[in-house]
Amino acid sequence: MQVAVTGIGVITSVGIGVDPFWDSLVEGKSGIGPVTRFDADGYTSQVASEVNEFDSAEYMDPKEARRNDRYTQFAMGASRLAVDDSGIDLDSCDLSRVGVLVGSGIGGMETIERQVGTMLERGPRKVSPFMIPSLIANIAGGVIAIEYGARGPNFGVVSACATGTHAIGESLRIMTNGEADVMLAGGSEAAITRIGFAGFCSMKAMSTSFNDDPSRASRPFDKNRDGFVMGEGAGVLVLETMERALDRGARIYAELAGYAATCDAFHITSPDVEAVALTECMNGALRNASLKPSDVDYLNAHGTSTPYNDKSETQAIKNVFAEHAMDNLLVSSTKSMTGHLLGAAGAIEAAACCKALQTGIVPPTINYEEPDPECDLDYVPNQARNIPIEIAMSNNSGFGGHNASLIFRKA
């Protein structure tokens, strides 16, 4: 069974909605700035990729929005944008065959932080009865399903920074197994909070060298990269069986053609420098799509701007693509502009792959200023490239060693 991408919804610092998002990527626009959601004085990293123009009331009932965490508000917003973009009439569908897989790597961090404060200041009886359903990482999928009456497959996908990619890939499996005709798939994250930021700062995982020049902080594959930049937002794709999409005359962004998942089984946070499992993951996705490495034109890399990840991922790409990686494969990290959306990263990067296939434009890796001898591929530095592509791959990896790869084919 073939699966089509017919709708895209994104909420990011560089744009809300697929067109503003894509235009920003093509222009090489950074959405990274000083932290404004809390006072970052005293934090080693003081830059983030915040969504500053989001109004939850545009996407859900204000009363429901108050009961839900910011990550669920983002997820609902991205889902509504995706459904509207697809032109699908869900009321005309068999809703028992419409599913939702919208995951989160962390879940309701803001809710946890706020309610712990309430308990410490005012006592346990003042804790909100909505705290538990608001914070759990599966609730976004439940809220979306309630909104649309979608009674098909629906569960929480939680695999740190690979969450969005796993959610889309598992949706592909569900559909090819004949269990659903339509899936809303992706990820959402809203972890830019005092405690969330403090935790990542304590791990020394985030960029600290560009607090005075935030737009330059995320610099994947550049020799002077020093850590990732935390982002927030959501991405959701509408997936339909190709037959159904063609029958209703839908605009098709791309075919979702392949997926694989592996685990490093190496370290809870550090990638395997030999990249054995990520290599196996990309090879598995190629087999699933019945493609050869040389068929892939563009790879949207995980590319976090951390010293170890970018080096390890470059090695994995070389392992899989060999001479093709050095001669013809285009690789870029859109995290250079959006920051790292953790559990939502794979979803917005899948959206970027679909738009690259549709438009024949490959988005750049910005802030690529000084090459790293250990990262020596064509990372599409600093400017988008107009070049028709037929096959795109997207990689994501997460703490715990989780890897996921998706393959998209031009419609």
Nearest CA-CA partner of 352 in 254, 227, 285: 254
Rounded alpha-carbon distances, angstroms, from residue 171 to 137, 154, 197, 319: 17, 10, 31, 28
Q: Which residues of 77-92 are buried (b: 16+ CB within 10 A; e: fewer)?
A: bbbbbbbebbebebee
Query: Which pair of structure tokens corresponds to residue 19?
Result: 């067109």
Do 81 and 11 contact (CB within 8 A), yes or no? Answer: yes
CA 185 – CA 174 distance, rounded (Å) = 11
Nearest 5°: the CA angle 179, 180, 184 is 135
Buried b (16+ CB within 10 A) or exposed e, 23-39: ebbbebbbbbbebebbe
Under 8 Å CB-to-CB from 346, ≥6 apart: which residues?
161, 162, 163, 164, 165, 166, 167, 168, 187, 235, 394, 396, 404, 406
Sequence-distant (6+) residues with CB within 8 A of 116 are none
> How far, CA to CA in Å, does 310 sit from each of 39, 44, 223?
30, 22, 10
Q: Which helix (H) or strand (E) holds 81?
A: helix 70-86
* Helix, strand, coil percentages, rounded to 5, for the chain: 40, 20, 35
Burial class (CB in 10 A: 0-12, 13-18, 19+), 299: buried
Nearest to 381, CA basis, from 393, 395, 370: 370
Q: How many residues does the chain have?
A: 411
How far apart are the C-alpha atoms of 8 and 270, rounded to whole Å? 32
Rounded to a whole number of angstroms, the CA Rg of the chain reads 20
* Active-site residue set: 161, 302, 340
**Does the CA dihedral 55-219-200-395 come out positive or negative?**
positive
Q: For residue 69, which amino acid is it?
A: D
